[in-house]
Structure 1
């Protein structure tokens, strides 16, 4: 079991009277005793590096791995800038198809995937592209692909890909999370939870055999969800015994309000510069 510290390096919200910068997107630094895993890289490196300086964190000595939760630009756009700031080759863990064409068509055709070619990233990093769970450091794992998804969490959000020249709906199967075993139970860190946060938690339980869930952290992508799905998500996480909820980004105000009502002081609004210890 690992002691764990999670730094919120960038988030949509910077907090009240805060010197930290906010940006639509997410980036966390997950630290255990001797290793640091950068979880996602926001839209750009600048606010992340600014916030790291304020937190007394040096990219070259605090980032040993980079984990990309999925292909979206607001989670991958700062990748090259961060790699250059680290100044040495590090492993980048991601899904095999993360470099695929990924786009929306409303209100107009626009690419929303990772804004770099594979070859550009490989100049600075060693890619570990896998859909399977992988242990990154002792007690901290990538979930790999979350194949089993709850019916109420399924649904198309208007993103597409190309396959053999054909336009196909993209189910964002590259959505992966990180699971850390701590003495208090699992800590699950997600980017946008496109696989569904309930599905992710159940996947983590099956994967580790641990049923105690200390905390879930990240965006839950409920910003456009109806009340039934929001209430169902809160109810299911409570049934699973999730002790604490740290959320923001794409969760949405209505869902955050529902979690606040259900969890009270065990609900925490994410903001840039937040530091959480388990």
Structure 2
């Protein structure tokens, strides 16, 4: 476990930490990232559905767009909302594994889109939650209510750490806060879903892997978002006793909301045979450069085939965005798929600075790699 103060503090110890991504004297956790032969990622929920978006011709990637529906479904449409949910299917030899990464804001939208896209939850091998924000786990309860009975009995939900269960709040004015949701552990237990928490990298179902906790080694910082309330309230929340080495302050232990550093947020990745890493950031609060650095460090694979998901650059000041874009251009990345919180500012910058790598995304789009 990485002490949280070592992760964030600006001290001499943190300087040693920044060189390696882990505290001085500690080795970077390594995993043997399994190679997959092919991977498809379908956007089940995102912020918009553009029926006119181009299919695009991208070397090494087959892109499918959803225009509309016919027959019994012709009066129905894909719904879009603030949130993200991705259906990911990978093959390794004769074996196929399917994961659902994040669940959008509401179960109504998630369930509607899964049905229209012809995606059967009964075929899922595991679930993954990237972090404890309502726009990423909000649809989980409604999804499980509708589909759990038909899914595998030993269903697992992979999470990056205990503080995924913390209460999140957002400013409501005059020093007050409004709830931004809390992932309910008792709901998971009632649905017979087993949480798998790991701050270290972890292989999922023999195909994918998580980055584990993402060290802050670049110029990036966590841009404004929610505050977090550590500890347990009303029978829920996160158990700080499981994080003795994280050194919570008295104010945090007393339940004072503090700016959320997303220590538990992880990325979900694949090692695509002959192509390199496909890194899915979901929201990327820890920074997309930091996330790429961690994925490389834990696998030893340097080539990045695709960077996919939310990059949380929508609230970025222009000078900050320019610096991140300049560094991103220096990376060896074939394709960039910005979604969700990446922001129109990032899209404009990418069109200008990385047009050969940029792929536009919309609800319903499917991207097939290595096929």
When normalised by structure 1's length, the TM-score is: 0.93
- Contact 1:149 1:196 (8 Å CA) reproduced: no
Partner in structure 2 of residue 182 of structure 1? 272
In 2, Cα distance between equivalents of 1:21 and 1:170? 29
Partner in structure 2 of residue 170 of structure 1? 260
1:226 counterpart = 2:288:
no
1:75 counterpart = 2:136:
yes
Describe how 1:78-93 pairs up with structure 2 within 5 A: 78-84=139-145, 85-87=147-149, 88=151, 89=153, 90-93=155-158
| Secondary structure in structure 1 of the residue aligned to 2:163 | coil
In 2, Cα distance between equivalents of 1:102 and 1:24? 17
In 2, Cα distance between equivalents of 1:26 and 1:93? 16
Q: CA deviation at 1:153?
A: 2.7
| Secondary structure in structure 2 of the residue aligned to 1:153 | coil
Partner in structure 1 of residue 188 of structure 2? 121
Partner in structure 2 of residue 14 of structure 1? 49
In 1, Cα distance between equivalents of 2:78 and 2:356? 24
How much is the aligned-residue C-alpha RMSD, in angstroms? 1.7
C-alpha change, 1:15 and 1:156, in structure 2 (3 Å) is closer
Q: Is there any run of 5+ residues in structure 1 with no aligned partner, and where? A: none
Residues 133-157 of structure 1 show CA distances to partners (whole Å, capped at 9, x for unaligned) of 1100334101111023423334553
Partner in structure 2 of residue 65 of structure 1? 126
Residues 6-63 of structure 1 show CA distances to partners (whole Å, capped at 9, x for unaligned) of 01100001113644221110000111121111100001122222222222211112x2
Q: CA deviation at 1:265?
A: 4.2
- Contact 1:198 1:237 (8 Å CA) reproduced: yes
Q: Is there any run of 5+ residues in structure 2 with no aligned partner, and where? A: 1-34, 53-66, 68-76, 231-251
Residues 96-131 of structure 1 show CA distances to partners (whole Å, capped at 9, x for unaligned) of 2211122122435112133x4211111121111121
Partner in structure 1 of residue 219 of structure 2? 151
| Secondary structure in structure 2 of the residue aligned to 1:267 | coil
Residues 207-237 of structure 1 show CA distances to partners (whole Å, capped at 9, x for unaligned) of 1111110001111111110112212222222
Partner in structure 1 of residue 83 of structure 2? 25
In 2, Cα distance between equivalents of 1:260 and 1:113? 35
Partner in structure 2 of residue 245 of structure 1? 336
- Contact 1:14 1:272 (8 Å CA) reproduced: yes
- Contact 1:149 1:195 (8 Å CA) reproduced: no
Task: Name the stretch that deviates more: 211-220 or 120-129.
Answer: 120-129
C-alpha change, 1:44 and 1:166, in structure 2 (3 Å) is closer
Aligned length: 276
* Bigger Rg, which one: 2
Partner in structure 1 of residue 109 of structure 2? 47
When normalised by structure 2's length, the TM-score is: 0.71
